């Protein structure tokens, strides 16, 4: 099946700093990518929908100035958590839609803010 690569898998950063997470579709072009957040033992919470070459669409309650999303090419979307705080510690997952209607997920990135 299609592969979506997410990097880094684990990241620890200091409070107040920014951290960038990359999401790449390795063997297909993804016009649409999605970013999710997942707390332990809870389901995926959609943060934003990212379309190549345009601004991301954020879900209600998600601060777009804090969670910067860039979808610069058909194979890469990035999520930057700005001025991270301990409450931002979570599991962040991206997904990408292929040319059809199938969505594939990355392996996720664990963010710990200390």
Binding mask 67-86 for other proteins (x = CB under 8 A): --------------------
> Considering the rule CB under 8 A, would residue 108 count as an interface residue with other proteins?
yes
Structure tokens at 66: 């804090």
- Residue range at the interface with other proteins (CB under 8 A); choices 14-22, 35-43, 70-78, 79-87: 35-43
Number of neighbours of residue 103 by Cβ within 10 angstroms: 15
Shortest distance, CB of residue 16 to other proteins, whole angstroms?
A: 26
Shortest distance, CB of residue 17 to other proteins, whole angstroms?
A: 24
Distance of CA 32 to the CA centre of its chain: 12
Are 81 and 102 in contact by the 8 Å Cβ rule? The answer is: no
Shortest distance, CB of residue 23 to other proteins, whole angstroms?
A: 10
Q: d(Cα 75, Cα 28) in Å, to the nearest integer?
A: 7
Are 2 and 98 in contact by the 8 Å Cβ rule? The answer is: yes
Q: Which residues bind other proteins (CB under 8 A)?
A: 1, 6, 32, 34, 41-44, 46, 49, 51, 57, 91, 93, 95, 97, 101-108, 110
């Amino acid at each position: 099946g299609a592969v979506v690569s997410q990097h880094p898998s684990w990241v620890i950063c200091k409070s107040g700093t920014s951290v960038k997470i990359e999401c790449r579709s390795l063997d297909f072009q993804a016009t649409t990518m999605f970013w999710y957040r997942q707390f332990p033992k809870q389901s995926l919470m959609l943060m934003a929908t990212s379309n190549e070459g345009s601004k991301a669409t954020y879900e209600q309650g998600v601060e777009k100035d804090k969670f910067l999303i860039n979808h610069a090419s058909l194979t890469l979307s990035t999520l930057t958590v700005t001025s991270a705080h301990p409450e931002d510690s979570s599991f962040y997952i991206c997904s990408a839609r292929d040319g059809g209607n199938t969505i594939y997920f990355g392996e996720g990135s664990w963010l710990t803010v200390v």
